[in-house]
Chains A and B, each alone.
Chain A
């Protein structure tokens, strides 16, 4: 009897050893798989940075390309040249102005509309809200065509003359509100308990005051998310600014990327091109890493990324 027991214990020990070994092997495979794809995800960023820090001669003479640049050989001057190749500082200023105007506008229109849908009771509320939601699946190109005509008819864009103010109107006004953000903020407002509202009514607080003193502070994380997403959207805008600006100086940062980057002898300056791409990408990465929490909140609710 004892003998048999010992044998069983021994077998179990082998079994545990064996399963531990398997566990380790599968861990190694899983980590190798993840690391492999993590590298693939990072390659374009690394390639961009690496190329932006090489000299053009280095790029053209090293075949195959080297994968490292030592710090003392880093050509930070490429960034200065890239900034000069296109009116980048002007683009950044334009982008900041456009992002500020459209974001502030969006925040206000969204807060008011979301409040009406979440808190007030009016005729046709649910039907109107349904109609708004259903337009979210319509491709933006359908709106762009008529908006282009509208902006022209309003005199904000013409191929012959345009002031900066007119360009600003064309760039911001169509983006002063967003159905998705209204929907998003309404959800946040809805979670605020009714008791707060009723208590404030008893105290004689007006709706307007209640909205700004109670609801907006409670929904602050959502409002921050909207601000970030909207500002990042302006930073990456390309098609619309291209359509409705006459002067090159009225455009936004992303438009500058499609500039011709040539060196003095007419060669394509890949290093400056990549430096420009990096100038546009870097702020987005920094914002993402610092404010990941807020950005992810928006992601979980958005359906399609355009």
Chain B
């Protein structure tokens, strides 16, 4: 060590950040577990009727929206992520192989990264409008009649389709950025060797590019899974705070696990609701934790080629 220890001084420098983190990060973390084990807790009166181990979790699971939320979240995660990872991979490889206009196309593909999920969600809702929307106009070219995707009384499956399109679109930018960075780090030697042997392009892609990029593909897929489990803002953007097309029943809702948390939190004044929100957030935490565990295992193994 270069310098002697300076505990007091270090803590003075850390104090502002640590004080804030203590109040708004660490205390809430432990308190979430505490809240989840309180029976009939009211935060307004600060009263509870003892403790319960699973009571609040049972409330979450028995909530009318729980099954719907689990179904929706799983579909968003396991359908949109693989598609957007694959599309992003193809786009990145294509982008990496061109010289002219590469910068311009890069900028275009990065654009969705900075945009506002609510604003773009509204634009997508209007793209999928039954009468005035672009998507039905496009389908009309092939003689397909207008579909009520997200409008009054729209079905769950069409609404979910529209949401998935938006989710894939929104997920591309970040993945393309990461893949492009990865591609630029691949040693040119491999490609030169392939060229000498005049290996077909598609074989170069499947035998060189994908294997060398595999750690990055695994990383992106898992972090995107974790991100997609927290889907919520995109749904507010497309469907508003009700999380479903107007004039539909709650079984057709597009609610997600995060939606369950905020649903309970919005009724926080009612007895026990804040504990239910805490229990739902712990369920979300455990799911993301298990994916983080998988990621750590994979990155340790380093499944290259």
Asked if A139 contacts B126 (CB within 8 A), the reply is no
Annotate A58-81 by CB proximity to B: 1 below 8 A, 0 otherwise.
011011110000000000000000
Interface residues of A in 79-136 (CB under 8 A from B): 108-110, 112-113, 115-116, 120-123, 125, 132, 135
Tally of chain B residues near chain A (CB < 8 A): 100
Interface residues of A in 282-304 (CB under 8 A from B): 284-285, 287-289, 292, 295-296, 299-300, 303-304
Interface flag for B193 (CB, 8 Å): no
Asked if B17 contacts A139 (CB within 8 A), the reply is no
The stretch that binds A, out of B66-74, B153-161, B169-177, is: B169-177
Pick from B14, B91, B105, B107: contact of A292, CB below 8 A.
Answer: B107
Q: Which B residues touch A121, using CB under 8 A?
A: 1-6, 10
Interface flag for A34 (CB, 8 Å): yes
Annotate B14-45 by CB proximity to A: 1 below 8 A, 0 otherwise.
11111011011111110110010000000100
Name the residue of chain A whose CB is nearest to the CB of B224. A304
Interface flag for B294 (CB, 8 Å): no
| Given A121-B5, A137-B292, A270-B132: A149 and B43 interface contact (C-beta under 8 Å) | yes
Interface residues of A in 212-238 (CB under 8 A from B): 232, 235-236, 238
Interface flag for B254 (CB, 8 Å): no
Interface flag for A38 (CB, 8 Å): yes
Interface flag for A281 (CB, 8 Å): yes
Asked if B105 contacts A306 (CB within 8 A), the reply is no
Asked if A274 contacts B274 (CB within 8 A), the reply is no
Q: Which A residues touch B191, using CB under 8 A?
A: none
Asked if B98 contacts A113 (CB within 8 A), the reply is no
Asked if B233 contacts A207 (CB within 8 A), the reply is no
Asked if B169 contacts A135 (CB within 8 A), the reply is no
Interface flag for B162 (CB, 8 Å): no
* Complex Cα spacing A148 to B134, Å: 41
Asked if B21 contacts A145 (CB within 8 A), the reply is no
* Complex Cα spacing A136 to B244, Å: 31
Asked if A138 contacts B29 (CB within 8 A), the reply is yes
A60, A146, A147 pick with most chain B CB within 10 angstroms: A146
A137, A173, A296 pick with most chain B CB within 10 angstroms: A137
Interface flag for A177 (CB, 8 Å): yes
Q: Which B residues touch A277, using CB under 8 A?
A: 116, 119-120, 122-123
Asked if B119 contacts A281 (CB within 8 A), the reply is yes
Interface residues of A in 172-201 (CB under 8 A from B): 173-174, 176-177, 179, 182, 194, 197-198
Instruction: With both chains docked as a complex, state the minimum distance between the C-beta of B38 and any C-beta of chain A, in angstroms.
Output: 12
The stretch that binds A, out of B47-55, B207-215, B278-286, is: B278-286
Pick from B13, B91, B116: contact of A112, CB below 8 A.
Answer: B13
Pick from B116, B123, B230, B236: contact of A306, CB below 8 A.
Answer: B230
Interface flag for B258 (CB, 8 Å): yes
Annotate B90-107 by CB proximity to A: 1 below 8 A, 0 otherwise.
110011011000000101
Asked if B109 contacts A38 (CB within 8 A), the reply is yes
Q: Which residues of A contact B (CB under 8 A)?
A: 19, 26-27, 30-31, 33-34, 37-38, 40-45, 47-48, 51, 59-60, 62-65, 108-110, 112-113, 115-116, 120-123, 125, 132, 135, 137-150, 152, 159, 173-174, 176-177, 179, 182, 194, 197-198, 207, 232, 235-236, 238-239, 243, 254, 257-258, 270, 273-274, 276-278, 280-281, 284-285, 287-289, 292, 295-296, 299-300, 303-306
24 inter-chain pairs at a CB distance below 8 angstroms, sorted by A residue, are A41-B172, A41-B173, A48-B119, A63-B132, A65-B134, A109-B16, A113-B17, A121-B6, A139-B230, A139-B281, A142-B29, A142-B284, A144-B281, A148-B268, A174-B24, A182-B17, A239-B232, A239-B262, A254-B116, A257-B116, A274-B122, A278-B119, A281-B119, A303-B223
Q: Which residues of B contact A (CB under 8 A)?
A: 1-7, 9-11, 13-18, 20-21, 23-29, 31-32, 35, 43, 87, 90-91, 94-95, 97-98, 105, 107-120, 122-124, 126-127, 129, 131-134, 136-137, 140, 169, 172-174, 177-178, 181, 198, 201, 223-224, 226-227, 229-230, 232-233, 236, 240-241, 258, 261-262, 265, 268-269, 274, 277-278, 281-282, 284-285, 288-289, 292
4 A-B pairs closest in CB distance: A146-B28, A122-B10, A113-B17, A277-B119
